[in-house]
Amino acid sequence: MIISASRRTDIPAFYSDWFMERIREGHFLRVNPFNRSQTKQISLAPDDVEAIVFWSKHPRPLLAHLRELDQRGHRYYFQVTLNPYDTAFEPNLPALAERIATMRSLAEQIGPERLVWRYDPVILSNVTPAAWHLEKAAELAQLLDGASGRLVFSFCDFYGKGPGRFRRALQGSGIAVEDITAPEQREALEMVAKGFKEIADRQRMAIFSCCEEVDLAGFGIEHGACIDARLIRTLFKRSGTAARDRNQRSVCGCAASADMGFYNSCPFRCAYCYANLGSVSAHCPLPPPLHQQDHHR
């Protein structure tokens, strides 16, 4: 089993102590996001876990626990989202310089091959045109030089209810967002893809797209996966195979995994985020489903 920590919330940033309690107990309860009364106990014993995949925008609180994870025999890698946006899109993040310093510290502890830099999502707007993304991505890549072995990016896709929530979050800001995957924005999309590939090549980074229908092979960019079974086999010399996660979108290449945590519990409150649907105040400092798991035996 691969453990995802997590699509649902930023566990490294806000719930690292809770996470370590689950590691010490050796299991957690996976909660059905559509029916909280449905739970399943998932083992966290190192022999039962192929790898742990951490998702975060600021994983500094978890860095102090990495030695214990290593001593317990856990295998893991991080994917850290580092975007150049201001507070209109990402209102509650630490300063960019602090997040870059955290990524560099993390790379020193675990090695750049186990740290994936996510530029996610690429938002096309009147304040963030394609040229702006290329300028900012190049700056970030230089600041991260040597800290990450791969760059993964995704476009801000306009599907489901996400676009409506995103636009409502931007009301009054004067910011108009566009769907970069729309046919009329093809020039901007290709400009970003070509430019990101050049940036990655300059920094000697592999580059992948994430959950995209558009084929970018012509730019030398492969479809990637967040829960990447191939990367896990390479990093940890694992021989097992993992089926594709059928619970994700059809274009998602992720392997099957068990997500920890619960949606609607991330205080970062990014305007574009699909994982926060309402007020977060009722879920702090620990979301109810996580808190309930603190007492399971």
Concatenated DSSP letters for 139-205?
HHHHHTTTT-SEEEEEE----TTHHHHHHHHTTTTT--EE-TTSGGGHHHHHHHHHHHHHHHHHTT-
Query: Tens digits of per-residue pLDDT, 206-255?
Result: 999 998 889 999 999 999 999 999 999 999 987 766 788 777 877 788 99
Q: Helix or strand or coil: residue 27?
A: strand
State the maximum Cα–Cα separation within the chain, in Å, rounded to a whole number: 56
Q: Helix or strand or coil: residue 102?
A: helix
Query: Tens digits of per-residue pLDDT, 57-82?
Result: 999 999 999 999 999 999 999 999 99
Contact between residue 147 and residue 180 where contact means Cβ atoms under 8 Å apart: no
Give φ, ψ of 109 to 5 degrees: -80, -40
Amino acid 241: pLDDT: 64
- Show the tokens assigned to 286: 């620990």
The DSSP H or E segment spanning 232 is helix 229-236
The DSSP H or E segment spanning 101 is helix 96-110
Tell me the HSE value of 185 on the side-chain side, using a 13 A CA sphere: 22
Amino acid 279: pLDDT: 41
How many domains is the chain partitioned into structurally? Answer: 1
Closest CA to 66 of 111, 116, 2: 111
Amino acid 280: pLDDT: 40
Amino acid 281: pLDDT: 37
pLDDT in 10s for each residue of the chain, 297 residues? 999 999 999 999 999 999 999 999 999 999 888 888 899 999 999 999 999 999 999 999 999 999 999 999 999 999 999 999 999 999 999 999 999 999 999 999 999 999 999 999 999 999 999 999 999 999 999 999 999 999 999 999 776 655 678 888 899 999 999 999 999 999 999 999 999 999 999 999 999 999 888 999 999 999 999 999 999 999 998 776 678 877 787 778 899 999 999 898 999 999 999 877 544 433 334 443 444 444 333
- Show the tokens assigned to 171: 């009301």
Give φ, ψ of 119 to 5 degrees: -100, 95
Q: Helix or strand or coil: residue 65?
A: coil
| Cα distance between residue 244 and residue 128, in whole Å | 34
Amino acid 252: pLDDT: 85
Closest CA to 119 of 196, 174, 58, 43: 196
Amino acid 296: pLDDT: 39
| Cα distance between residue 180 and residue 188, in whole Å | 7
| Cα distance between residue 142 and residue 178, in whole Å | 28
Amino acid 3: pLDDT: 97
Structural domain containing residue 282: 2-293
* Single-letter code of the amino acid located at 125: S
